[in-house]
Structure 1
Amino acid sequence: MADKCHMCLLGLILLCSLLTGTIEVDDNNKFCSSGKNVHLPCKIARSSCTSTSWTYSRQSETVELVYGGKKKNDIERHERLSLGSDCSLNIRNVTKDDYGSYSCQRYVNGQQQGTEERIYLHFLHVSVSPSSTQIRSGSSVTLFCQLYHDQVSCDTLVRAEGVQLIWVNQAGEDLQTDSRYQISPPGHCNSTLTTTLLDEDNNTEWRCLVTQRNEAKTSAAYIVRYSGYNLCMSLK
């Protein structure tokens, strides 16, 4: 009983740290979910940001976001970007479109100085099947958790970076050991949770959590809400 309470407490502390709204950066792989704010530092920047540039790339697309310390006005995400006083790049209200590679460079008289600093932003998303209008208490539901990544393979994230996807309840307890849930085995950048809905599942939250070397990074939640015989879904 004491061990279970200890796990619950750890889970609550873990979830509280994830819900503060801003994701802190500590290495070159960053993790985010919908609606969060992300801070990307530029360690090669100097006291003045007039020589700082930021570019974004995913697959074959490359977009210049900041040049000479000024945001580009002709990019779709312009209003959600800001440059910090330390030349960091801040992204507000992150969406799936933001995952990819971000590079910070210094230019003096049009010439790049030193090497670029690259940060990989990965996006966590949860979806449900069947749709919310088709499921009700007593029916089976499957949640799909996917970590979108680019230019860094899933194998590298899992084996070299120690990344895992874990399903937890609203108390932060790992659902892997609960026989009510069928969860795909860890070790991949996607995971599924399948269960049969109960009457008492109204307003219940299940959360897909990303950890890196056993440290929580971000999460995406699914909340069950009953209205009559229908189930409403909320993702955050």
Structure 2
Amino acid sequence: MDEFKRIQKSSLLILLLQFTGAAIGQRDLYLSVRVGDEATLPCNNVFNDQDQCESTTWLLSYSGSTAVLVRGGQIGEEARAKSDRLRVTEKCSLVIKKVTEEDAGPFTCRQFRSGEQQGSDSLVLLSVVTMTEHQNNDEVTLLCSVTTRVSCRHKVKWLLQGRDVDEDNKDIKTSASDCNASVTFQTSHYGSTQRSELFTCSVTADDGNVQTFSFQSSDGDKQAATTSTTTAAVTSSPTIKNSGLLRLVLVSLGLAALIMIVVAVNIWTRAKEKQTQMDEINVRYDVDDGTVNYENIRPPDGV
């Protein structure tokens, strides 16, 4: 009797664990990825006895249409345009390389056997984070926005050194709304390197999952080059002035040293000539008549 109760309790526990695991596995997943990064979308209802994900299908649905990205573990015809950015892992997760805003949306993983769907869908809501930088005279504004292709309820805000920006901070202005946030400050306060190190964009999904992204402009090469050039001109102007002043001082010191050298050489030359003339003349006094006779003691030519 006791053994029967023990077996009954064990069976009930196993059933409970299986039910809990199924409930957790079918929970919608919110995933935010920055433009240009790689996204890995897990399939939480995958069958473990698949060799090459032959029972797995991935779908992307939005605007009333559905595209088949993966069918039977292989990239589908409707995804050929971006097939070089898609691949399926051993665990049937879908990997998207170099994510763009067009990749945002709800992805569904389904399991099929003998043409029939097995179990419930596994849903991944992919959001794409875009960061841009805009400069207006002496002010810089960083923008962080989230693209979802569905109703967006993400909370977005900028953090300074991992913390909320103080509302009393007169040097930094922030604003935030669903799926968008901005921060504005003077160009002289934070250089381009400091911006990437100090400012992060915090994205909170509808399920409470929080992800943070360090600042990295997504405007492209032209915008990045313009911003970099402008920033360098602003931040390096004191250095340019200091370099000019230092160059002026060095030139003045060099000119003074050159003048001193010329004067010293001139004095030395004259002294040398005078000494040479003295050496070439022998002064002899005649003791008898008190006269002075000068004799040139320079050797005759050719001697």
- TM-score, shorter chain, exceeding 0.5: yes
Q: Could you tell me how far 1:203 is from its partner in structure 2?
A: 2.4
Which residue in the other structure is 2:162 paired with? 172
Which residue in the other structure is 1:219 paired with? 213
SS of equivalent to 2:202: strand
Give the direction of change, closer, same or farther, for the CA distance of 1:192–1:202 in structure 2 (3 Å limit).
closer
Instruction: Work out whether 1:201 is the aligned partner of 2:194.
Output: no
Residue of 85, 98, 104 corresponding to 2:90? 85
Q: Could you tell me how far 1:184 is from its partner in structure 2?
A: 1.1
Q: Does the CA contact (< 8 Å) of 1:71 and 1:82 recur in 2?
A: yes
Instruction: Work out whether 1:181 is the aligned partner of 2:180.
Output: no
**Which one has the bigger strand percentage?**
1
Q: Does the CA contact (< 8 Å) of 2:60 and 2:107 recur in 1?
A: yes
Gaps of 5+ in 1: 1-25, 158-162, 232-236
Aligned mates of 2:86, 2:192 — CA distance in 1: 37
Which residue in the other structure is 1:28 paired with? 29
Q: Could you tell me how far 1:183 is from its partner in structure 2?
A: 0.8
1:106-165 deviation line (CA, Å, top 9, x unaligned) = 1222222232222110111122334xxxx55xx1232222111123x23xx3xxxxx432
Aligned mates of 1:227, 1:194 — CA distance in 2: 18
Q: Structure 1 stretch 111-120 or stretch 80-89: which is displaced more?
A: 111-120
Aligned mates of 1:198, 1:113 — CA distance in 2: 60
Q: Does the CA contact (< 8 Å) of 1:31 and 1:218 recur in 2?
A: no
Aligned mates of 2:211, 2:192 — CA distance in 1: 27
Q: Does the CA contact (< 8 Å) of 1:33 and 1:220 recur in 2?
A: no
Alignment of 1:54-203 (within 5 A): 54-72=58-76, 75-130=80-135, 135=136, 139-151=138-150, 153-154=151-152, 157=153, 163-169=154-160, 171-177=161-167, 178-185=169-176, 188-198=178-188, 201-203=191-193
Q: Which amino acid aligns with 1:166?
A: K
Residue of 49, 52, 56 corresponding to 1:52? 56
Q: Does the CA contact (< 8 Å) of 1:146 and 1:190 recur in 2?
A: yes
| Count of aligned residue pairs for this structure pair | 190
What CA RMSD, in Å, does the superposition of the two structures yield over aligned residues? 2.8
Q: Structure 1 stretch 215-224 or stretch 196-205: which is displaced more?
A: 215-224
**Which one has the bigger helix percentage?**
2
- Give aligned-pair identity as a percent: 25
Q: Could you tell me how far 1:202 is from its partner in structure 2?
A: 4.4
Gaps of 5+ in 2: 1-26, 218-226, 237-303
TM-score normalised by the chain length of structure 2 = 0.55
Q: Structure 1 stretch 38-47 or stretch 99-108: which is displaced more?
A: 38-47
SS of equivalent to 1:184: strand
Aligned mates of 1:78, 1:117 — CA distance in 2: 22
Q: Structure 1 stretch 43-52 or stretch 172-181: which is displaced more?
A: 172-181
Which residue in the other structure is 1:39 paired with? 40
SS of equivalent to 1:93: coil
Q: Does the CA contact (< 8 Å) of 1:167 and 1:176 recur in 2?
A: no
Aligned mates of 2:216, 2:92 — CA distance in 1: 35
1:71-119 deviation line (CA, Å, top 9, x unaligned) = 2255222112111111111122222121111011112222222322221
Q: Structure 1 stretch 105-114 or stretch 29-38: which is displaced more?
A: 105-114
Runs of 4+ in 1 over 4 A off after TM superposition: 212-215
SS of equivalent to 2:80: coil
Q: Could you tell me how far 1:69 is from its partner in structure 2?
A: 1.3
SS of equivalent to 2:54: helix
